[in-house]
Structure 1
Amino acid sequence: MAELDIDIQSFDIPRLVTVYPDRAGVRWWTKAWFNNREEGETSVEIEREQAIRFMQDNIEKDAWLEEFFPRQMEVYHNAIEQTKEQLLKQINI
């Protein structure tokens, strides 16, 4: 596929993730949005130290999503693989 002039990024599924504290800054959560869905996924409570590592860019976004939103990431990987297979079938026509 390297010789083909195809922007694989255009087939990617948008993924947004954030971390946030409660008002007292004691409890922390992470929340994710896949494919530009307005509502997003249910928040997951995390440790403060995890939130700090994420905010300091010490954890890659996809690694974070794999840890806290594994079911959604499985769907993501399946969708990307299906798109890749469909693209390859079209090229081979």
Structure 2
Amino acid sequence: MDIDIQSFDIPRIVSVYPDRFGIRWWTKAWFNNRNEGEASVEIEREQAVRFLQDSIEKDKWLEEYFPRQMEVYHHAIEQTKEQLLNQINII
């Protein structure tokens, strides 16, 4: 049985932004609607432009710059999927 992961996905928001002069760029992410978000990570300007032009998929970006958080994300999705499959098998 195939389960639609979108139905129980964990919200992930990511942004890129420059400093006041547009010289240094950062990326920041928020997982599971948390207010404070993750610590910003400095990135190359070219990477920021590629992301803003939708040349890089959001989850690939998050895997690159927030790998620990994405590991937790994947584990939570897998755990939820297993719980759903167990519930289906019980019925």
TM-score range for the pair, normalised by the shorter chain length: over 0.9
Residue ranges of structure 1 left out of the alignment (5+ in a row):
none
CA distance in 1, matches of 2:86, 2:71: 23
Is residue 2:52 matched to residue 1:52? Answer: no
| Larger RCO (alpha carbons 8 Å, 6+ apart) | 2
Moved over 4 A (4+): none
List alignment gaps of at least 5 residues for structure 2.
none
* C-alpha distance in 2 between matches for 1:71 and 1:8: 20
Secondary structure of 2:55's aligned partner: coil
The SS at the match of 2:22 is coil
**Matching residue's letter, 1:45:** E
TM (norm. structure 2) is 0.95
* Mapping 1:69-84, distance limit 5 Å: 69-84=66-81
Using the size of structure 1 for normalisation, the TM-score is 0.93
Q: Percent identity?
A: 84
Count of residue correspondences = 90
Deviation at 1:9, TM superposition (A): 1.4
Over the aligned positions, Cα root-mean-square deviation in angstroms equals 1.0
Aligned-pair CA distance for 1:7: 4.9
